[in-house]
Amino acid sequence: MEREMPEPSVVVNLNQFERSRRSALSPEKLTLHHGCRDQLIEGATRGLTRHAEAMENALLAMAERSPLFSERNTYYAAQTVLNKQANELLSACKEAYCKTFDDSVQGRDKLASLELSELSLVGDQDFEITLAVDKAAARMRFNCAEELVALDARMASLLGRNDLSENENPLGPRKLCDALLDGIGAMKLEQNVRVVLLNQFDLVLTTELAAIYQAINRFFVDHGILPDLKAGTKGRSRGGTAPAGGTPAAPANDMFKLFEQMAGGVARAGASPVGMPGFSLVDSLAQLQAGGIMLPGGASFELP
């Protein structure tokens, strides 16, 4: 009698296969991944620990100024967590970020998002949480814009990608904020308290992250990950380098000097800047928006 093959021996789970294939990282890449991951979260939690008392004082002041009883209770509750459970809270945040980072590097976050991609109604509470994370991540990215241009490129190179969007970088502010919120959520706190704590973390990290990202960029450079990349060069020329047209691009300071001339000296003298006959501020701004303008001395300037 012919025997049938057991079903498990002929069925291949493609998702599981893809996950196992991606998880086979070389020891060198694992070292780099873990090194940059630990630098970010350790630096972030050290900064939060250093400013814990300041965050408590800020929350107490907000509670005293608030006219609403419910708001006062929320601020007091957040202050109590920082005062009595700070170590537990930051440990939960570190654990959540390490998981977020590893899932992102291995691609498990994309698989999870595909499984949860069905349309669903968003409640007011979910919207408030999403808005808080969006604001925190945007503020952090704005204050670390130059560092993140280089960091996005280097992380993409390490992951074998041509490009990496700002929300896909496992070292980026969005992933960090999502993980911090997960860590705060592990404390089983009310949603309003979670949002308040995330906002306080955001205010601290907005001023701390630039130095941390600079250190991570140096770490990548020391390990040969795009060592020649200059911060802020993604997709555009820096001042003094020649674009494809051959005319050196003028540094941003030249543009500011030019506008100062147009707004100040030109208005007083009733004449155009030297070498630029018939110069109109409105016309020049329109030219700048459309392409570029000529600066004194024959140089040109284009918006990035």
Per-residue pLDDT at 41: 98
Kindly report whether the global pTM for this prediction surpasses the value 0.85. no
pLDDT of the chain, 304 residues: tens digit per residue:
554 544 444 343 444 434 444 445 788 999 999 999 999 999 999 999 999 999 999 999 999 999 999 999 999 999 999 999 999 999 999 999 999 999 999 887 654 444 444 444 445 678 899 999 999 999 999 999 999 999 999 999 999 998 888 899 999 999 999 999 999 999 999 999 999 999 999 999 999 999 999 999 999 999 999 998 865 444 433 344 443 444 444 444 444 455 555 545 444 444 444 444 445 555 555 565 556 666 655 566 665 5
Kind and range of the H or E element at 197?
helix 191-222
Q: How far is CA 200 from the centre of its chain?
A: 17
The string over 192-210, giving b where at least 16 C-beta atoms fall within 10 Å of a residue's C-beta and e elsewhere, is: bbbbbbbbbbbebbbebbb
Per-residue pLDDT at 299: 61
